[in-house]
A and B are shown apart, each in its own frame.
Chain A
Amino acid sequence: MADQVRFLAKNLRVDLRLIAGMIEPNTRVLDIGCGDGTLIDELFTTKGCDARGIEIDMAEVTRAVAHGLPVMHGDADTDLAHYPDDAFDYVILSRTLQAVGRPREVLRQMLRIGARAVVSFPNFGHWLVRWQLLRRGRMPMTATWDRMWYETPNIHPCTIHDFFDLCAAEGYAVERWLAADEAGRRAPWRRFPRLANLFGEQAVFLLRRGG
């Protein structure tokens, strides 16, 4: 599982490195919420992928296209429906699942238009989140969950356990998964879901249709 994270460009955000490590060379990739296109640029340059992006923030889209990257303005909740079945080998959703309106539907669309989905999300089961809620009785505020409840875009937080459950319910095969700390370093307890759910600040899953 996930031991083959190769070295990528130094300036690549660490969680994007973990994702890039799961993508085979020369494949067709769609990155949803691609920001300024750093990951698709990396996948094109180092792996020869036909990598494209969707981004909701227009300033980021403009930056990406002005760098010659194929990125379109769009919304994960509404735009995936317009892609044909099996248009991509991988569809990536990086730290965005918790912010979309209908996460289950977005996942379905991802695994309809792509043979595989790579999903990363911040883990709401992390011990500090649990501790803060238990001790203070208020919504947790951590480095990862750093916005007040009334203004956070993260309207659908979940834990690693929750995500495993959803994959089982939807019939997705978890080909690989890993938990990591906020800096993106993988941790030794990654093989044990209960420990990962307690100590992992974020998780990356590689899913395939039909488990």
Chain B
Amino acid sequence: MDQTAPLADLPHQHVLFADGMALDCGASLPELAVAYRTYGALNAERSNAVLVCHALTGDQYVAEPHPITGKDGWWDAVVGPGRPIDTGRYFVICANVLGGCMGSTGPRSLRDAAGARWGTDFPPVTIRDMVRAQKRLIDHLGISRLFAVIGGSMGGMQVLQWAADYPDAVFAALPIATAAYHSAQNIAFHEVGRQAIFADPDWQGGRYWQTDRIPARGLAVARMCAHITYLSEEALARKFGRRLQDAPKSAGEAISLFGDMFEVESYLHHQGSTFVRRFDANSYLTITRAMDYFDLAADHGGDLAAAFRGTATRFLLVSFTSDWLFPTAESRAIARALNRAGANVSFVEIPSDKGHDAFLLDEPDFHRTLGGFLSGCAARAGLAAHG
């Protein structure tokens, strides 16, 4: 893991806003890049656009091979022709979040003409800042109202922020496996990950790009810790149980003191080592912090319903039974707040033993629910069956 090369500066499709953007923290970015991908075609009325918001370690490559890993898009099962988010019908947009490392402005970006990177000087951003950046993109694309905004986990936080800040620009909002605030437990897990990064000598106070050595071990440990929270005890028991496997033979692989290792250990090592090849440590710090700050009710006098009062947006909330990172109670609390606000809300809990990750995986009930809800909304929005 220690020899992992720094993240390559790949070209990403993007739009550059030369006037920059003011942030919640009071600082301003002198310029703002928003990297994005689109799938399907925008109709003549510009009414069939669906914005997909990605999660903490996701990116804009929703439904196509990833430029670094070569793996299928992270929501390939959900976005595509004939899929629940049907690209034959909807114009799907996904943007890399502000603070990310796949082409949108973030800690890896150059802060001035002299070629210095932001690094840890990158200002703290919020979920609302991320949504503002997406709004700039949507305006740039000439779309005044999104047919739907969809996202899971941190993507769901962005969906809630969209619906609260731009209700007239969102016909349907689908916050999946998410919460209206980041819980103390979730902040705690994030802090463990951040401390792992800080503790890696290769982090070098956040200026690691100057030596071409990245804090791969720290970032990998952060990923391993976080990955456990994305699964469930049941899923781990089903996939790995207590099975052992032979110790790695080559010196470059993870060290095992005991001669052999449990399969679950090997799995986590793999998750860690593949993650560091495609993600930037400072971005990880910035984005986890943005999630930790998120508390939508606090921005509305402590009453979540006030964030949605009078909204005409149609909501679908989905949670998963074994998700303990964003448990059903959090979605139910949002549903009840929406009820108090008089909003039109659908709410389903999908049975699954796959934990928080279920929203990314093959869950037929979830996919039917998603597709059916969107079709129902399309009928009410007057979208043609085949736009």
> Within the complex, which residue of B316, B344, B372, B377 is in contact with A67, where a contact is CB–CB below 8 Å?
B372
Taken residue by residue from 116 to 151, chain A's Cβ proximity to chain B (1 for < 8 Å, 0 otherwise) reads as: 000000000000000000000000000000000000
How far does the alpha carbon of A87 sit from the alpha carbon of B342 in the complex, in Å? Answer: 6
A62 near B368: Cβ-Cβ < 8 Å: yes
Give chain A nearest CB distance to B39 CB in angstroms: 22
- Chain B interface residue count, CB cutoff 8 Å, equals 29
B301 within 8 A of A: no
Chain B binder among A78-86, A158-166, A173-181:
A78-86
B339 near A83: Cβ-Cβ < 8 Å: yes
A79 near B339: Cβ-Cβ < 8 Å: yes
Instruction: Considering the complex, give the chain B residue whose CB is closest to the CB of A45.
Output: B379
Cβ–Cβ < 8 Å partners of A74 in chain B:
335, 347
Cβ–Cβ < 8 Å partners of A70 in chain B:
314, 344-346, 376
Among B314, B369, B375, B377, chain A packs the most CB atoms within 10 A around the CB of B369
How far does the alpha carbon of A71 sit from the alpha carbon of B317 in the complex, in Å? Answer: 11
Give chain A nearest CB distance to B63 CB in angstroms: 22
A84 near B342: Cβ-Cβ < 8 Å: yes
Chain A binder among B150-158, B177-185, B229-237, B348-356:
B348-356
How far does the alpha carbon of A52 sit from the alpha carbon of B338 in the complex, in Å? Answer: 13
B348 near A58: Cβ-Cβ < 8 Å: yes
Give chain B nearest CB distance to A79 CB in angstroms: 7
Give chain A nearest CB distance to B332 CB in angstroms: 8
How far does the alpha carbon of A83 sit from the alpha carbon of B337 in the complex, in Å? Answer: 9
Binding site secondary structure of chain B:
helix
How far does the alpha carbon of A89 sit from the alpha carbon of B342 in the complex, in Å? Answer: 13
How far does the alpha carbon of A50 sit from the alpha carbon of B314 in the complex, in Å? Answer: 12
Give chain B nearest CB distance to A53 CB in angstroms: 9
A62 near B348: Cβ-Cβ < 8 Å: yes
Cβ–Cβ < 8 Å partners of A83 in chain B:
339-340, 342
A65 near B345: Cβ-Cβ < 8 Å: no
A68 near B342: Cβ-Cβ < 8 Å: no
Give chain A nearest CB distance to B282 CB in angstroms: 40
Give chain A nearest CB distance to B384 CB in angstroms: 15
A93 within 8 A of B: no
B373 within 8 A of A: yes
How far does the alpha carbon of A79 sit from the alpha carbon of B339 in the complex, in Å? Answer: 9
A69 within 8 A of B: yes
A195 within 8 A of B: no
A68 near B339: Cβ-Cβ < 8 Å: no
How far does the alpha carbon of A74 sit from the alpha carbon of B339 in the complex, in Å? Answer: 11
B344 near A52: Cβ-Cβ < 8 Å: yes
B340 near A82: Cβ-Cβ < 8 Å: yes
> Within the complex, which residue of A62, A68, A84, A87 is in contact with B376, where a contact is CB–CB below 8 Å?
A68
Instruction: Considering the complex, give the chain A residue whose CB is closest to the CB of B375.
Output: A68
B336 within 8 A of A: yes
B339 near A82: Cβ-Cβ < 8 Å: yes
A14 within 8 A of B: no
Cβ–Cβ < 8 Å partners of A65 in chain B:
316, 346, 348, 369, 372-373
Cβ–Cβ < 8 Å partners of B377 in chain A:
68
Give chain B nearest CB distance to A87 CB in angstroms: 5
Give chain B nearest CB distance to A110 CB in angstroms: 14
B121 within 8 A of A: no
B342 near A66: Cβ-Cβ < 8 Å: no
Cβ–Cβ < 8 Å partners of A66 in chain B:
365, 368-369, 371-373
Instruction: Considering the complex, give the chain A residue whose CB is closest to the CB of B372.
Output: A66
> Within the complex, which residue of A50, A72, A84 is in contact with B345, where a contact is CB–CB below 8 Å?
A72
Instruction: Considering the complex, give the chain B residue whose CB is closest to the CB of A88.
Output: B342
Q: Which of A18-69 contact B (CB under 8 A)?
A: 50, 52, 58, 61-62, 65-69
Known: A72-B346, A73-B347. A79 touches B373 (CB 8 A): no
Cβ–Cβ < 8 Å partners of A87 in chain B:
342
Taken residue by residue from 164 to 189, chain B's Cβ proximity to chain A (1 for < 8 Å, 0 otherwise) reads as: 00000000000000000000000000
Known: A66-B371, A82-B340. 5 other contacts (CB 8 A): A61-B348, A70-B345, A72-B317, A83-B339, A83-B340
Residues of B within 8 A of A (CB): 314, 316-317, 332, 335-337, 339-342, 344-351, 365, 368-369, 371-373, 375-377, 379
25 examples of A-B residue contacts, CB within 8 angstroms = A52-B345, A61-B347, A61-B348, A62-B348, A62-B368, A65-B316, A65-B348, A65-B373, A66-B365, A66-B371, A66-B372, A67-B376, A68-B372, A68-B373, A70-B314, A70-B376, A72-B345, A72-B346, A73-B332, A73-B347, A74-B347, A82-B339, A83-B340, A83-B342, A84-B340
